[in-house]
Structure 1
Amino acid sequence: MLGDFINRIFVLALGYAYPAFECFKTVEKNKVGIEELRFWCQYWILMAFLIVFEWTGEVFISWLPMYGEMKVGMLVYLWYPKTKGTGYVYDTLLRPFMARHETEVDRKIQEIKARIWDFIFKYCQRFAVMGQGKFFEMLQYMANQSLKFKQANQVVLQKPDDPSTPNGHRDSPRMRPRPAQT
């Protein structure tokens, strides 16, 4: 557990922080060399591919003994000035692979974008329909509550016409005048 934690610290420091700082220094120089920019761009492209590969394939390779140490060693190999591993890995592995599959990757990306937009459009439509329905339900509820409130106020505000009749009704069967008997 402690070894894994230390490896993660080394990966963050040597794989991300130091190369990011070196890239920053290269970009901020007054006279930027195109080769230096190319080197750091290649490094970050390789890092992106390594992260994607590791994220999807870590289950299959993380069980190897000293996996973390090998990962740190590879990251240092990529940016270390004497080895310039980035140029070698980029030129011999990544560039030929991407050159062969660039159109296929572009097509897949376009398909995924189209699917995402379709999903978002359908989701927004459903949300609008559901929101509209809930809005009208809320208006109906408020209207019903308003009617109940009005009816309750009318009952309370009505005054009985004759205090001798129950509930103010004159033609109550108990209170009708009796016909005169002859």
Structure 2
Amino acid sequence: MSTELLTKFLTLLFGYAMPALECFKSIEQRPGRTDHLRFWCEYWIILVILVMFDEIAGALISKIPMYYELKLAFLVYLWYPKTSGTDIVYETFLQPLVMQYQPNIEARLQYLRANAGDILIFYLKNFTERGYDLFLRALDYIRSQASRGSRTRSFFSFRGDRTERPSFIDDYGVGGDRRDAARHRRPRGGY
């Protein structure tokens, strides 16, 4: 457990925080050096793809031994100046792949941008309908458990009486309300 926590902390430090600081310094301190900006843009593109892979293949990742340690080593490889890992991964693998599918990706993203409101409304409506149905099922389950629990509570009572308590339905007279039923039971005039 402690090695996993340490690995996640080191991944946050060396995979996200330190590269973000270096990217910030490239933008603010060296505005004329586009090679640094290109390097960090390539790094963040690779990192986003890696994070997307992590999210999609989450269950499979847990089966790979030492995955997070390998991920940490890969992230350090990407930004470490002597390895030029970002340049190699980007130019060898990522750039040719994205360039091949770029028109298709652009068309799909354009469609999503144009219909984002409709898609959002569809998912919200679907979620609220299913959420409402789930809520009603939960209430029905709680009600059934409560009614079953009241019967067993009276049966296993420690007071010694094994009779059922009258329900509040018995308080109502036929055609009347609770106050009418109470008037008929109590004598008028005093307690």
Give the TM interval when normalised to the shorter protein. Answer: 0.5 to 0.7
Q: Partner residue of 2:80?
A: 80
Q: Partner residue of 2:57?
A: 57
Shift of 1:121: 6.3
Q: Partner residue of 2:38?
A: 38
Shift of 1:65: 1.2
Q: Partner residue of 1:103?
A: 103
Q: Partner residue of 2:29?
A: 29
Shift of 1:48: 1.0
Shift of 1:123: 8.9
Summarize deviations over 1:103-123 as a string: whole Å, max 9, x none: 111122123234422245679
**Inter-partner Cα distance in structure 2 for 1:39 and 1:51:** 18
Identity value in percent: 40
**Inter-partner Cα distance in structure 2 for 1:113 and 1:31:** 32
Summarize deviations over 1:116-138 as a string: whole Å, max 9, x none: 222456799xxxxxxxxxxxxxx
TM-score, reference length from structure 2: 0.60
Q: Partner residue of 1:178?
A: none
Question: In angstroms, what is the RMSD of aligned CA positions?
Answer: 2.2
Q: Which amino acid aligns with 1:55?
A: E
Relative distance call for 1:30 and 1:58 in structure 2 (3 A) is same
Unpaired runs of 5+ residues, structure 1, are: 125-182
Q: Which amino acid aligns with 1:8?
A: K
1:65 partner SS:
coil
Summarize deviations over 1:52-109 as a string: whole Å, max 9, x none: 1111113213321111110100000000000010000000111001001011111221
Q: Partner residue of 1:153?
A: none
Larger Rg belongs to: 1
Unpaired runs of 5+ residues, structure 2, are: 125-191
1:81 partner SS:
coil
**Contact 1:26–1:32, Cα closer than 8 Å, also in 2:** no
Q: Which amino acid aligns with 2:74?
A: M
